[in-house]
Amino acid sequence: MLEGMYLVHAELRRADNAPLPPGAARLILDSCRPGEGVEHVTVHADAAGGGPLMGLFVLAGTVEEAERVAADACQRALETHRDFEGFTLLRCAVRLVPDFYDQQFERGDAGRDMPGPN
């Protein structure tokens, strides 16, 4: 099956709104299993919406698979690393970009993301 790269956003929170622990990206990456497809993890300490956000770049066959892999890796990190004590995984999903698609439909591109024949 052909794989694509997906950016999965994971929102981790603690009841007291504490920041993510130092080295959070490395802790998540270290919780990944060989062959799962997690290539890179980033931390956005103050993402839009008010709190820290993790970005997991996942090679997967489907968006659903990428989201599952990212959620599993985050949950393993929360359960095994003391630095994540008190944190919970609120959501783990690929963000859609509706404005991009709305603009395509407004231009009459019929959903194409590449130029049509001349």
DSSP string, 83-117: GGTTEEEEEEEEPP-HHHHHHHHHHT-TT-SS---
CATH numbers and ranges of domains, the chain: 4-107 (3.30.70)
Token pair for 13: 């929170």
Is the distance from CB of 30 to CB of 49 less than 8 angstroms? no
As a whole number of Å, the CA-based R_g of the chain is: 17
Say how many residues make up the chain.
Answer: 118
Find all residues with CB under 8 Å of 1, minimum gap 6, and list them.
Answer: 61
Global pTM?
0.78
Q: What is the pLDDT of residue 17?
A: 86
pLDDT 10s digits, 36-81: 999 999 998 776 666 788 999 999 999 999 999 999 999 999 999 9
Q: What is the pLDDT of residue 40?
A: 95
